[in-house]
């Protein structure tokens, strides 16, 4: 079956969207500027994300059978619609490049003398392979990854229990309300707002009208998981989380059970790698699919390789 | 067609085989035999004012004695490399002039700062220890009387690598609880708080007739500028730990009016710091709960009656309260909020804290602190009354 004819079930969409949302956020502390109330910012940001989702749903319901590109043309007219679509697609490419760059910088902190290129090209090759294989492959992969993530989260949390200090979560809301709103906006935009990329794939879901329900489920699921991550990170690190580059990662570094269970942070690094990969690939796929549609091509596969090369330069530019 | 496909497959296979020749490992791979494993680090002030002297305790594998081999010579199983630099990182990299292998820090256990440097201030020397990936946030921070270098160079028994020896002393603190401990993460938290004073364990070289040995007791106290301002002795240190809820064990010796002693072994302790604002006057109430076992007594009275135990409990409450009072007096004298009382206001009474924040340093030395201790003495051990008790007579 050609990749573009593949469909995924709404259930698979749930896994894909959840992994997408958790994606790059697992080693960071989203909403970190809210200090000890970051967890609240994450929670409220997720709720705000649900508003975005309601808008996407309304769009899907109003334009059944159409994806983002076609909707744009219907709403803005043929020319302006194309311009708006181009802007969206460039945004997807930009985010995708940013993500891979985040990856690369993270690993470059540990491996200082390895050229950044290695960390840029390797995931990119795998990513383009995934895009070639189609959305279903990514969705099935997400299923495994998400289960691993939840399992590891529980394991790490148990091992971290002795290092958690609930009083680190106090004081409640010590920052001005404007900064809090800013933090909430940040969380709502990344990752929840980014889910607009799924409007490109809406026709690949076997039951597009069901999709909204399953996406809401994954918004709630990953929202709750991100709040738990934030609570854990702040409880372990306290104020140290405000100066840490990768707070959730730093928190796991604290694990030390009798000098035996130590240095487990690599688990989180692996999770980050496998989750971020999905997110990057989804954006990559969205962009390529969108371009092929705009350019009225029969298949998106010829676009994958050229995209890969331009990526390379985009990374360096960022 | 199938023939073409077969050739294609063989080609892919060959390419895959070939590429394994070129992608054998990563740039950052360093073999164990090329690494100098650092287990302890010392930081001292250097004769040259602006520089810092760093000593790294490196495990010397050729001299590590294992029970089986028995040998290994009489050389100590470690080597102290020293170097100087304007900054910590510069000094560390300068060490490659004297060490044939690049230093490898992930197994570092302790970081010891010499008292002279600590008094001059550690503000400029901590960044790298938090920023660099190789250091772990769980490294212990200590201050040494005299030079840190001498502490690291001390020959130790049982565990003959001093850094591990010190780490084990820190682990075994649960049987005395008479010095404060702090790792890099907690230090960072204390510095980032708006009022709490940083602390560190205090270690010194003790001269006995036979040998020089390491002794860890007491707690070094820093001011908000990370300059060492004083030391809490053993008793005051435990007072601090009572308030922090970090007492894990130890012996409380109490004496009754008849000069009989009771050694009570602490089983567990918890604490609660309650900030209050009574009529615009900030006060702190510290609630300490603990329990202990009777471990030893010289009291010859019949202990088989509840009053005797209640009496012990009241003596114990009094003793704990005195330890806390001593710690408080010292901290207030040093004007260093080692207990985190300011943070307690910040966390629970944000609005009150906003008023106190600017002149907390003036408020803390005269802060009113109520200490409430509730403790129990639980079990007598294998005998109830002392063998010399007048019970039978």
A114 in B contact zone (CB under 8 Å): yes
Q: In the predicted model, is pLDDT for residue A311 greater than 70? A: no
Between chains, do B137 and A263 touch, taking CB under 8 Å as contact? no
What is the spatial distance between Cα A21 and Cα A216, in angstroms, rounded to a whole number? 12
Q: Is B42 exposed, middle or buried (0-12, 13-18, 19+ CB in 10 A)?
A: buried
Chain A residues near residue B126 by CB distance under 8 angstroms: none
* pLDDT: which is higher, B388 or B287: B287
Q: Express each pLDDT in B189-239 by its tens digit.
A: 999 998 999 999 999 999 888 888 899 989 999 999 999 999 999 999 999
> Which among B27, B133, B346 has CB closest to A114?
B27
Q: Please provide the DSSP assignment of B119-182 as one string.
A: HH--GGGSHHHHH-TTS-TT-EEEEESS-HHHHHH---SSS-SHHHHHHHHHHGGGGT--S---
Residue B86, classed as helix, strand or coil, is: coil
What is the spatial distance between Cα B337 and Cα B373, in angstroms, rounded to a whole number? 21
Distance set, CA B3 to CA B6, B16, B61 (Å):
5, 20, 59
Average pLDDT over residues B29-53: 87
Q: Is B246 exposed, middle or buried (0-12, 13-18, 19+ CB in 10 A)?
A: middle
Which backbone phi and psi does B283 adopt, to 5 degrees? Answer: -135, 155
Quick one: pLDDT at residue B148?
Answer: 92
When scoring A37, A180, A240, A241 by the number of chain B Cβ atoms within 10 A, the one with the most, hence best to mutate, is: A240
Quick one: pLDDT at residue A5?
Answer: 66
Which backbone phi and psi does B198 adopt, to 5 degrees? Answer: -70, 150
Chain B residues near residue A109 by CB distance under 8 angstroms: 133
Neighbours of B251 (CB within 10 A): 16
Q: In the predicted model, is pLDDT for residue B24 greater than 80? A: no
Average pLDDT over residues A194-201: 89
Tell me the domains of chain A and their CATH numbers. Answer: 7-317 (1.20.1740.10)
Strands (E), A178-226: none
> Which among B27, B185, B346 has CB closest to A254?
B185
Chain A residues near residue B106 by CB distance under 8 angstroms: 263
Between chains, do B137 and A254 touch, taking CB under 8 Å as contact? yes
Q: Express each pLDDT in A39-71 by its tens digit.
A: 999 999 999 999 999 999 898 888 888 888 888
Quick one: pLDDT at residue B66?
Answer: 61
In the numeric block, the tokens 């079956």 are attached to A1
A215 in Cβ contact with A195 (< 8 Å): yes
Between chains, do A243 and B136 touch, taking CB under 8 Å as contact? no
Residues of chain B with pLDDT > 90, as a percent, come to 58
Average pLDDT over residues B266-274: 94
A-B Cβ pairs (cutoff 8 Å, strict): 53
Rg (C-alpha) for chain A, rounded Å, is 20
Copy the structure tokens of residue B114: 């010499």
What is the DSSP secondary structure assignment for residue B96, as one 8-state letter? G
Between chains, do A113 and B27 touch, taking CB under 8 Å as contact? yes
- Report the sign of the C-alpha dihedral through residues B211, B216, B218, B223, in that order: positive
Copy the structure tokens of residue A274: 């496998």
B136 in A contact zone (CB under 8 Å): yes
Quick one: pLDDT at residue A94?
Answer: 84
Average of per-residue pLDDT values in chain A: 86
Peptide bond into B267 cis (omega under 30): no
Quick one: pLDDT at residue B32?
Answer: 81
A112 in B contact zone (CB under 8 Å): yes
Distance set, CA B21 to CA A89, A118, B14, B179 (Å):
39, 16, 11, 56
Quick one: pLDDT at residue B252?
Answer: 93
B185 in A contact zone (CB under 8 Å): yes
Between chains, do B28 and A250 touch, taking CB under 8 Å as contact? no
* pLDDT: which is higher, A147 or B300: A147
What is the spatial distance between Cα A31 and Cα A190, in angstroms, rounded to a whole number? 10
B65 in Cβ contact with B85 (< 8 Å): no
A240 in B contact zone (CB under 8 Å): yes
Quick one: pLDDT at residue B60?
Answer: 85
| CATH architecture entry for B235-393 | 2-Layer Sandwich (3.30)
Between chains, do A240 and B138 touch, taking CB under 8 Å as contact? no
Copy the structure tokens of residue B182: 């702090």
Quick one: pLDDT at residue A111?
Answer: 79
Which backbone phi and psi does B254 adopt, to 5 degrees? Answer: -120, 150
Using alpha carbons, select from B171, B175, B177, B196 the residue that is nearest to residue B186: B196
Closest chain A residue to the Cα of B138, Cα to Cα: A254
Between chains, do B192 and A243 touch, taking CB under 8 Å as contact? yes
Quick one: pLDDT at residue A20?
Answer: 93
Apex CA A97: angle with CA A93 and CA A99, to 5°?
120
> Which among A115, A238, A256 has CB closest to B189?
A238
- Count the alpha carbons within 13 Å of B242 in the hemisphere toward its beta carbon: 31
Gap from B141 CA to chain A (nearest CA, Å): 15
Question: Could you tell me the residue ranges of all domains in chain B?
Answer: 30-232, 235-393
Using alpha carbons, select from A96, A107, A181 the residue that is nearest to residue A130: A96
Contacts of A66 (CB under 8 A, 6+ apart): A74, A202, A203
Quote the distance between the C-alpha of residue B334 and its chain's center.
20
Quick one: pLDDT at residue A1?
Answer: 42
Between chains, do B347 and A243 touch, taking CB under 8 Å as contact? no
Copy the structure tokens of residue A213: 């329900």
Quick one: pLDDT at residue B303?
Answer: 84
Chain A residues near residue B341 by CB distance under 8 angstroms: none
Copy the structure tokens of residue B366: 């005269």
- B159 in the Ramachandran plot: left (φ > 0), alpha (ψ -120 to 50) or beta? beta
In the numeric block, the tokens 């030893």 are attached to B296
Average of per-residue pLDDT values in chain B: 88
Contacts of B189 (CB under 8 A, 6+ apart): A237, A238, A239, A240
Q: In the predicted model, is pLDDT for residue B38 greater than 90? A: yes
What is the spatial distance between Cα B103 and Cα B93, in angstroms, rounded to a whole number? 8
Closest chain A residue to the Cα of B109, Cα to Cα: A259
Q: In the predicted model, is pLDDT for residue B391 greater than 70? A: no
Chain B residues near residue A254 by CB distance under 8 angstroms: 137-138, 185
In the numeric block, the tokens 């597009």 are attached to A208
> Which among B27, B188, B347 has CB closest to A240?
B188
Quote the distance between the C-alpha of residue A304 and its chain's center.
21
H or E stretch covering B306: helix B306-334
Residues of chain A with pLDDT > 70, as a percent, come to 94
Average pLDDT over residues A76-93: 90
| CA torsion angle A168 B136 B337 B43 (round to 10) | -170
Q: Which residues pair with B253 in a beta bridge?
A: B263
Gap from A106 CA to chain B (nearest CA, Å): 11
Residues of chain B with pLDDT > 70, as a percent, come to 95
Closest chain B residue to the Cα of A239, Cα to Cα: B189
Residue B104, classed as helix, strand or coil, is: strand
Q: Is B84 exposed, middle or buried (0-12, 13-18, 19+ CB in 10 A)?
A: middle
Closest chain A residue to the Cα of B29, Cα to Cα: A111
Between chains, do A253 and B133 touch, taking CB under 8 Å as contact? no
Chain B residues near residue A258 by CB distance under 8 angstroms: none
pLDDT confidence tier of residue A206, bands split at 50, 70 and 90? confident
Gap from A208 CA to chain B (nearest CA, Å): 39
Sheet holding B368-377, edge to edge: B251-255, B261-278, B281-297, B368-377
Average pLDDT over residues A285-314: 75
Quick one: pLDDT at residue A102?
Answer: 84
Between chains, do B189 and A237 touch, taking CB under 8 Å as contact? yes
Q: In the predicted model, is pLDDT for residue B364 greater than 70? A: yes
pLDDT confidence tier of residue A124, bands split at 50, 70 and 90? confident
Chain A residues near residue B138 by CB distance under 8 angstroms: 253-254, 256, 262
Q: Express each pLDDT in A3-44 by its tens digit.
A: 556 788 989 999 999 999 998 788 888 888 888 889 999 999
pLDDT confidence tier of residue A157, bands split at 50, 70 and 90? very high
Quote the distance between the C-alpha of residue B249 and its chain's center.
15
- ipTM rounded to 2 decimals: 0.85
Quick one: pLDDT at residue A31?
Answer: 83
Between chains, do B193 and A242 touch, taking CB under 8 Å as contact? no
Copy the structure tokens of residue A189: 């935009």
Using alpha carbons, select from B199, B154, B180 the residue that is nearest to residue B40: B154
> Which among A114, A167, A250 has CB closest to B137?
A250
Quick one: pLDDT at residue B27?
Answer: 73
Quick one: pLDDT at residue A134?
Answer: 84
Gap from B185 CA to chain A (nearest CA, Å): 7
> Which among B28, B185, B189 has CB closest to A114?
B28
Apex CA A130: angle with CA A124 and CA A131, to 5°?
90
């Amino acid at each position: 079956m050609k990749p573009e004819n593949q469909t995924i079930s709404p259930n698979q969409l749930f896994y894909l969207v959840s992994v997408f949302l958790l994606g790059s956020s697992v080693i960071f502390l989203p909403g970190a500027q809210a200090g000890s109330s970051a967890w609240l910012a994450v929670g409220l940001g997720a709720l705000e994300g649900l508003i975005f989702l309601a808008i996407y749903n309304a769009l899907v319901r109003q334009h059944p059978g159409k994806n983002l590109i076609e909707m744009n043309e219907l709403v803005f007219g043929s020319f302006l619609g194309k311009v708006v679509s181009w802007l969206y697609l460039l945004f997807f490419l930009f985010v995708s490049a940013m993500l891979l760059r985040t990856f690369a910088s993270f690993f470059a902190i540990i491996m200082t003398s390895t050229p950044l290129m290695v960390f840029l090209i390797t995931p990119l090759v795998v990513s383009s392979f995934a895009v070639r294989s189609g959305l279903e492959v990514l969705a099935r992969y997400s299923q495994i990854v998400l289960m691993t993530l939840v399992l590891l989260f529980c394991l790490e949390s148990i091992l971290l229990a002795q290092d958690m200090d609930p009083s680190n979560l106090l004081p409640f809301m010590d920052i001005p309300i404007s900064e809090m709103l800013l933090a909430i906006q940040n969380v709502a935009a990344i990752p929840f707002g980014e889910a607009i990329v799924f409007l490109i794939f809406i026709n690949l879901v076997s039951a597009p009208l069901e999709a909204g329900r399953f996406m809401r489920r994954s918004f709630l699921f990953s929202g709750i998981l991100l709040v738990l991550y934030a609570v854990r990170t702040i409880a372990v690190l306290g104020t140290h989380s405000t100066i840490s580059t990768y707070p959730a990662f730093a928190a796991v570094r604290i694990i030390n059970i009798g000098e035996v269970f130590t240095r487990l942070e690599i688990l989180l690094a692996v999770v980050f790698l496998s989750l971020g990969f999905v997110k990057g690939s989804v954006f990559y796929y969205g962009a390529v699919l969108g371009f092929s549609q705009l350019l009225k091509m029969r298949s998106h596969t010829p676009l994958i390789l050229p995209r890969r090369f331009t990526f390379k330069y985009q990374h360096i530019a960022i | 067609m199938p023939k073409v496909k077969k050739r294609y497959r063989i080609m892919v296979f060959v390419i895959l085989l070939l590429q394994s020749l070129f992608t054998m490992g990563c740039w950052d791979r360093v073999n164990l035999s090329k690494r100098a494993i650092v287990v302890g680090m010392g930081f001292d002030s250097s004769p040259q004012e602006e520089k810092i002297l760093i000593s790294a305790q490196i495990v010397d594998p050729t001299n590590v004695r294992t029970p089986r081999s028995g040998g290994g010579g009489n050389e100590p199983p470690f080597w102290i490399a020293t170097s100087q630099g304007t900054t910590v990182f510069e000094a560390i990299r300068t060490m490659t002039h004297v060490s044939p292998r690049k230093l490898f820090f992930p197994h570092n256990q302790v970081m010891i700062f010499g008292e002279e440097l600590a008094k001059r201030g550690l503000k400029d020397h901590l960044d790298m220890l938090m920023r660099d990936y190789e250091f772990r946030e769980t490294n212990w921070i200590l201050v040494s009387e005299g030079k840190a270098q001498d502490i690291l160079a001390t020959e130790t028994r049982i565990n003959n690598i001093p850094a591990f020896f010190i780490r084990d002393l820190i682990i075994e603190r649960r049987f005395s609880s008479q010095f404060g401990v702090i790792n890099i993460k907690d230090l960072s938290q204390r510095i980032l708080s708006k009022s709490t004073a940083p602390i560190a364990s205090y270690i010194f070289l003790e001269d006995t007739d036979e040998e020089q040995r390491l002794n860890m007791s007491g707690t070094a106290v820093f001011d908000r500028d990370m300059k060492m301002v004083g030391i809490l002795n053993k008793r005051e240190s435990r007072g601090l730990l009572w308030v922090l809820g970090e007492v894990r064990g130890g012996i409380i010796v109490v004496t009754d009016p008849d000069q009989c002693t009771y050694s009570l072994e602490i089983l567990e302790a918890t604490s609660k710091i309650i900030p209050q604002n009574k009529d615009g006057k900030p006060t702190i109430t510290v609630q300490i709960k603990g329990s202990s076992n009777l471990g030893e007594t010289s009291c010859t009275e019949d202990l088989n009656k509840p009053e005797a135990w209640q009496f012990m409990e009241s003596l114990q409450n009094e003793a704990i309260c005195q330890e806390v009072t001593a710690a408080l007096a010292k901290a207030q004298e040093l004007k260093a909020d080692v207990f985190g009382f300011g943070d307690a206001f910040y966390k629970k009474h944000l609005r009150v804290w906003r008023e106190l924040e600017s002149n907390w340093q003036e408020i803390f030395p005269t802060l009113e602190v109520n200490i409430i201790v509730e403790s129990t003495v639980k079990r007598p051990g294998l005998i109830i009354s002392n063998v010399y008790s007048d019970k039978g007579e």
